[in-house]
Amino acid sequence: MLTKIITAYNEAVFDTDRDQALEIIHQAVAEGITPEDIVFKVVIPAMELMIKSISEDFDANLAQHFMASQIASQVTDEMVAKFQTSPHVVGTVILGTSHGDMHTLGKRIVSGCLRSLMIEVVDLGVNIPAEQFVEAALTHNASVIAISSMMMHTARSELGCLKVREILKNKNLEDKIKIVVGGAPYRWDPHLYQAVQADAWAEDGITAGKVIKELIMEMQK
């Protein structure tokens, strides 16, 4: 039965059919599938499958990426509330758009993907000063700061990722907190993340989940 549920859920997600995906999940729970199995055997593998099969043309498939992450996030939130025991959280990420940047869509996609992968997300919002990123990371014991920039000048700004790096260096936190960046400017220039002194970058919101999870796991070794 679980195999049929996985297949049906995957089809609904790839079709961005939120109602169908939720109906499949609710029916599965009614038939005795545990919330834990829904998350770990259905939702997370579906996200990983999306990562593997994602089109290189992110902009052309933006709606699909956004809906897939939102469906996964909604199902995960609903199922986690029904867990018999508290779920194991992989780690915590501080998320926000860089100083001077007011775009939200890319950040929302990333948030949905991360939450579906059992990563706690502290979303600071938009136009976030570098100091606030670092303060939040220390407050929430986060090992990753994820900075979204949708414009070249905000990505390269001395008040953005570069400033976060400067603060981490001055506080001797570079071994404890890593920086991941993403957004359109980094797709235009794959080497830009190095120029702004980030530790890694993600091509799009979906792959950001994989990149950040791998970085968290690496730091926990």
26 Cβ contact partners less than 8 Å away, ≥ 6 residues apart: none
DSSP designation for 165:
H
Which of residues 56, 80, 104 is at a domain's end? Answer: 80
Angstrom distance (rounded) from CA 141 to CA 109: 23
Mean pLDDT by groups of 10 residues along the chain of 221 residues: 90 89 94 89 80 54 72 85 79 95 79 83 95 98 94 94 98 96 90 97 80 89 75
Instruction: Assess whether 108 and 215 both reside in one domain.
Output: yes
Do 191 and 126 lie in one domain? The reply is: yes
Residues 6+ apart with CB under 8 A from 70: 18, 108, 112
Task: Tell me if 192 sits within 8 A of 155, measured CB to CB.
Answer: yes
| Pure H helices in 174-220 | 184-188, 192-195, 205-219
Alpha carbons 116 and 118: distance in angstroms, whole number: 5
The whole-angstrom separation of Cα 202 and Cα 210 is 9
Same-domain check for residues 101 and 177:
yes
Are 95 and 190 contained in the same domain?
yes
Asked, for residue 171, whether it belongs to a domain, the answer is yes
Please check whether residues 76 and 95 belong to one and the same domain: no
Q: Is residue 53 part of a domain?
A: yes
What is the distance, to the nearest Å, from the Cα of residue 186 to the centroid of all Cα atoms in its chain? 16
pLDDT at residue 104 in the model: 77
User: Considering its fold, how many domains does the chain have in total?
Assistant: 2
The pLDDT tens digits for 53-62 are 554 455 555 6
Domain shared by 118 and 32, yes or no? no
Residue 17 shares a structural domain with residue 122: no
Tell me which residue of 179, 170, 172 sits closest to 144, measured CA to CA. 179
Which pLDDT tens digit goes with each residue over 26-80?
999 999 999 889 988 898 888 777 656 554 455 555 667 778 778 888 888 888 8
Which residues span the domain enclosing 66?
2-80
CB 60 within 8 A of CB 8: no
Q: What percent of the chain has pLDDT over 90?
A: 51
Domain annotation covers residue 32: yes
pLDDT given at position 161? 97
What's the token pair of residue 186?
């980094």
CATH of the domain at 117: 3.40.50.280
Residue 67: which region, alpha, beta or left (left: phi > 0; alpha: psi -120 to 50)? alpha
Q: Name which of 176, 166, 154 is nearest 106 in CA terms.
A: 154
| Residue 157 resides in a domain | yes
Neighbours of 33 (CB within 10 A): 18
